[in-house]
Amino acid sequence: MSASKRTVDMLVEAFDLNQRRKFVLKNGDGKPVVDLYFKPITRSDRKKAQALAGTEDALDISTQMLCQMAELQDGSKAFASADAAKLQRMLPESVLNELELFLFGLGEDLSLEEAKND
């Protein structure tokens, strides 16, 4: 008789944390700039981003999460943690919002206002 699996092991085995979603970032003219890939976010990822951001501010944490999670096609990191401040300063907020909404799996059909109300 085989030993039954623990519930925690069944849960962990049920989800593939290596599966990535692709986001095509386009410029103002609609031309592709870069493809970014995102694995599922874990609670550990969120806590790490919060620690790196050094604040409770949701905008700073979400941009730090973007820097931590975004990958290029080959699996390398698209950003360094230090890039968060430059992204916040130098990108239109609408672009950063679009990236972060995708990162958090809020979908392309969901507006920022709808996401804020969730």
pLDDT for 64 beyond 50: yes
pTM of the full structure: 0.81
Contact 71, 40 (CB under 8 A): no
The pLDDT value recorded for residue 4 is 87
The pLDDT value recorded for residue 108 is 52
User: Long-range contact list for 58-62, CB < 8 A, 24+ apart?
Assistant: 59/88, 60/84, 60/88, 62/100, 62/103, 62/104
Task: Assign residue 62 the CATH number of its domain.
Answer: 3.30.2220.20
Domain containing 37 equals: 21-117
> Total domain count for the chain?
1
With respect to residue 3, please indicate whether it lies within any of the assigned structural domains: no
Residues 33-60 have pLDDT tens digits of 999 999 999 999 999 999 999 999 999 9
**Mean pLDDT over residues 17-32, rounded?**
93
Give the tokens for residue 16. Answer: 């593939």
